[in-house]
Amino acid sequence: MIYQNSIEFAKALDRTDPLKTFRNQFHIPKHTDGEEKIYLCGNSLGLQPTNTQKYIQQELDDWAKYGVDGHTEAEHAWMPYHEFLTEKMAKIVGAKPKEVVVMNTLTTNLHLMMVSFFRPTKKRYKILIESDAFPSDKYAVESQLKFHDIDPTDGMILWKPRPGENTCRMEDYEKIIQDHGDEIALVMIGSTNYYSGQSFDLKKITKLAHDKNITVGFDLAHGAGNIQPNLHEVGADFAVWCTYKYLNSGPGSLGGCFVHERHANNPDLKRFVGWWGHDKSTRFNMRKDFSPIPGAEGWQLSNPPILSMAAIRASLDVFDAAGFEKIREKSEKITGFLEFLIDELDNEDIHIITPRNPEERGCQLSIQVKNADKTLFDKITEAGVVSDWREPDVIRVAPAPLYNSYTDVYVFVQILKKVLNEI
């Protein structure tokens, strides 16, 4: 794609954008002057689809109308409500429906998955994680190690960028697996790093680990709705994700969980259980011994919050209407435009730390601004840009293909340019 550095070019891209009508299906936050903000923060909290309110209102109305009978009588009966999400969510992560369930929140699911899939022995007891993993993932991993009486300084192996680099190299991962493969029980990696925006080759990571009999789990918090992780084909043992970032399902909304079908009917897998994971046909014979539903649903604990699931349904319907291939296509194009415009600033203090190869990233670019401090961020915020600042000197911006326009991207870079001249 050959880009041009002009507002006319950005507007022309918007006019021919096959997803251009989807922006109208979202509430775009407004500036004090009533103008729409430039919202580049879908990697942190996705915007609200306009139909979310209707979907939630339906459940409130059915609750008012039916009380407890809503479990069976509501237009979308609450008892099987999570099943209404499964097929569309499975498409988002490239899985078979029985491999996917929406339940709990991300960190909770990560713990539940590690209960089942981190089974340390005397010889094989370590967990490999990327050094710049999201803090919650590291806390979860550390606490699981401690739970098994393993000292995290011994039990946690870090996949680190080389000195002076910001992203992790696959050859370094290969080397760790080669040198320590027999001690590693679990590889737990974020599919797309929250800080650098780097997306990994999940298939290669899984294959190299499986060759050494290591279990593999992925955190798709920054992957789901952003890249296509193809979980089934990749062969990961488990994955977890949240739905409030690229999946636009509202603050703190429920998470998703994937368990590969090879584990669907394994009675030897230890797990923490609750009644919602019990065989549906006998769930209400409360005195039966626990018998898990085959597949990911067998890890459910509780009957889920329907209002949160209604918001997820609303959002998944938008994704389904757009089609993930078109979303990904625009993602590459709009992120490429952002990259082009930043390069055009020709400012040596600015450095994009996210990989240049579109296959190694989603729509987020992490921009390092040398010698800058938070004043820069505050000034672009004042000018109407919603982005995200990470100390000491990185701005993360993510043009979300469903609701961001090429004009948003152009205007953002103009604002950045102006502010850089002022500080």
Ligand X SMILES: *Cc1c(COP(=O)(O)O)cnc(C)c1O
Stretch that binds ligand X, among 89-97, 100-108, 113-121, 169-177 (CB under 6 A): 100-108
Check if the beta carbon of residue 205 is closer than 8 Å to that of residue 184: no
Determine if 106 is a binding residue for ligand X (CB under 6 A): yes
Determine if 194 is a binding residue for ligand X (CB under 6 A): yes
Task: Report in angstroms how near the CB of residue 324 gets to ligand X at its nearest.
Answer: 20
Task: Report in angstroms how near the CB of residue 360 gets to ligand X at its nearest.
Answer: 17
Determine if 136 is a binding residue for ligand X (CB under 6 A): yes
Among 42, 120, 190, 384, binds ligand X (CB under 6 A): 190
Task: Report in angstroms how near the CB of residue 371 gets to ligand X at its nearest.
Answer: 28
Task: Report in angstroms how near the CB of residue 242 gets to ligand X at its nearest.
Answer: 4
Stretch that binds ligand X, among 1-9, 99-107, 143-151, 407-415 (CB under 6 A): 99-107
Instruction: Report which residue type is found at 345.
Output: L
CB nearer to ligand X: give 134 or 173. 134
Q: Report how far residue 53's alpha carbon sits from residue 311's, in angstroms, rounded to the nearest whole number.
A: 8
CB nearer to ligand X: give 221 or 236. 221
Give Cβ neighbours of residue 364 (< 8 Å, ≥ 6 apart).
Answer: 43, 192, 197, 222, 226, 335, 354, 396, 397, 398
Stretch that binds ligand X, among 79-87, 102-110, 146-154, 396-404 (CB under 6 A): 102-110
Determine if 22 is a binding residue for ligand X (CB under 6 A): no
CB nearer to ligand X: give 294 or 355. 355
Task: Report in angstroms how near the CB of residue 294 gets to ligand X at its nearest.
Answer: 26
CB nearer to ligand X: give 13 or 188. 188
Structure-token match 């509430």, residue found: 27
Among 112, 221, 322, 395, binds ligand X (CB under 6 A): 221
Among 90, 209, 242, 247, binds ligand X (CB under 6 A): 242
Among 23, 222, 313, 333, binds ligand X (CB under 6 A): 222
Say which DSSP state 36 is in.
B
Give Cβ neighbours of residue 258 (< 8 Å, ≥ 6 apart).
Answer: 93, 95, 99, 100, 231, 236, 238, 239, 240, 296
Coil vs helix vs strand at 392: coil
Give Cβ neighbours of residue 220 (< 8 Å, ≥ 6 apart).
Answer: 93, 190, 191, 192, 229, 239, 240, 241, 256
Check if the beta carbon of residue 241 is closer than 8 Å to that of residue 335: no
Q: Measured between alpha carbons, how far apart are the two ends of the chain, in Å? A: 33
Coil vs helix vs strand at 14: helix
**Sites of contact with ligand X (CB under 6 A):** 105-107, 134, 136-137, 190, 194, 219, 221-222, 242
